[in-house]
Amino acid sequence: MLELLPAGLAVLTASVAVYTDVWKDRIIPDALTLPMIAVGISFHLLLGLWEGDPYQALSGILGASLAFSLSYLLWYLGGWAGGDVKLLTAFGALLPIHSPPFSVPPYSDLPLFPLTILFNTVILTLPLLAVYALLCYLRGENPFYEKVRITELREGMIPAEYIYERGGELLREEALLGLRPSPAGERFFTQPRRAAGLTRSEIRALRRLVAEGRLENHLKVKRGMPFAPSLAAGLLSALFYGDLYWALILGLGKVL
């Protein structure tokens, strides 16, 4: 029964994250995720010491490290915000190893359960994104980006293009896959890879460029899409069913 505690905490964390990300502040607060990371690591450490099992003691750290590495890559590519990274890391710390009741396929004792949560999240997100994208296109909107007047920018908006100065010339370039223009050394006015979005000083600098006539009064910014519901769905499906990826592969094998 003691081993069910991390699963219960993970579900509770996911529920609160969905509430704050969708209905309350449109963020996943650090006050929620960071303590859960610490609780998960501490739980497995103390349990491992109690049972005399070094592997159990380290499993929380290993699970958190795997989850952070995977989600950091998604953040680096511009797909996730910082709160999503820390939420999956919390899941990895709490549930590095888990055997669902309907495990597909049978699970090992390796701390790879965060990978299952991520795969399930991606699989469950894709159809929702497809419907969302279709509705946006029918309305004549881009589902991922929108143009905003620079004079109407707000702090925290995440730019989807780089605006930078090179050799006295002002340039702008779309942020494809989070890749930064090179060579380094230019003065950058926007940083699309920063999850915190635009700062007040950056907005002031952009507005000054518009006032000087050096920059057109628009900036492409990313549409905010809450991922907490997808992560929660990925967690619940992984907890009670298992790996949806393998279920799809095995089902496809039977059909073929």
Residue 188: C-alpha distances to residues 70, 88, 159, 170, 182 (Å): 27, 31, 12, 10, 11
- Quote the pTM value: 0.72
Q: Are 235 and 116 in contact (CB under 8 A)?
A: no
Express each pLDDT in 124-141 by its tens digit: 888 877 877 787 778 777
Using only C-alpha atoms, what is the Rg of the chain? 21
Cα(222)–Cα(20) distance, integer angstroms: 20
Strand order in the sheet with 169-174: 169-174, 161-166, 187-188
Q: What is the pLDDT of residue 58?
A: 93
CA 247 – CA 252 distance, rounded (Å): 8
Q: What is the pLDDT of residues 211-220, one digit of tens each?
A: 999 999 999 8
All structural domains of the chain, each given as residue ranges with its CATH number in brackets, are: 4-138+226-255 (1.20.120.1220), 145-222 (no CATH)
